[in-house]
Amino acid sequence: MQIIELFKHPLAKIILNEDLELLLNFCLEIKKQTKCRELSNVGGFQSEDIRSSLPPIKSLWKNITLHSNIFSKDIFKCKENISINNLWININKYKDFNIVHDHPFSKISGVFYVKTPKNCGNIVFFNDSNIQNHIHANTITEYNNYNSSTWYMEPQENVLYLFPSWTKHYVRPNLSNEDRVSISFNLI
């Protein structure tokens, strides 16, 4: 039997070496200075878009751009460079979460984790093919990329995740008594 894989959703995990203390202080200062916007967040703080010229974010901005271009060229075989269209800060307190969403009008999206206490809520990627209507959980002996309706990644400090912008995802509630702090972004 020949197996032909029709569609895939790649996820890149890159461990960076950013100054987390500098970034955390920057995120907390942004929270003090700006009002919260509400998009996919239920509770928590989501900043307006951040500019690349702000010194504390320059190194991370450069790393996101570098790794996203590698991802775009290696996975999607795109010849043109992509750049960050928008970037924002998320600070989620106890029980704050994000509903299922994607990032329209972008090519690659992602998240970088600044602070991730234990039980602060996984990012969950959602298979939009309604597989759960066709393969019932009690018939599966082992979950894999072909039969899973969701796939989760545990947030880890100094980790950058990149994924196609059309990949639906959500973030589970933060069940820690400490804030989960992340920086999200889109590239075009």
Q: Which of 36-50, 53-67, 130-144 has the lowest mean pLDDT?
A: 130-144
* Residue 117: inside a domain: yes
Contact 161, 83 (CB under 8 A): no
* Residue 2: inside a domain: no
* Residue 6: inside a domain: no
Q: Which residue has the higher pLDDT, 158 or 4?
A: 158
* Residue 1: inside a domain: no
- Rounding to the nearest 10 degrees, give the CA dihedral for residues 171, 34, 181, 42: -20
* Residue 76: inside a domain: yes
In the chain, the number of structural domains is 1
Question: Residue 141 sits in a domain of what CATH number?
Answer: 2.60.120.620
Q: What pLDDT is attached to residue 23?
A: 98
By residue range, what is the domain housing residue 89?
Answer: 12-187
Instruction: Measure Cα distances from 78 to 2, 73, 110, 128, 152 in Å.
Output: 28, 5, 18, 24, 27
Residue ranges of alpha helices (H) inside 48-162 are 58-76
Q: What is the pTM of this model?
A: 0.93
Give the separation between CA 27 and CA 25, rounded to whole angstroms. Answer: 5
Q: What pLDDT is attached to residue 132?
A: 66
* Residue 74: inside a domain: yes
Q: What is the pLDDT of residues 126-142, one digit of tens each?
A: 887 767 666 777 788 88
Copy the structure tokens of residue 72.
């775009």
* Residue 3: inside a domain: no
* Residue 5: inside a domain: no
Closest CA to 109 of 186, 43, 178, 5: 186
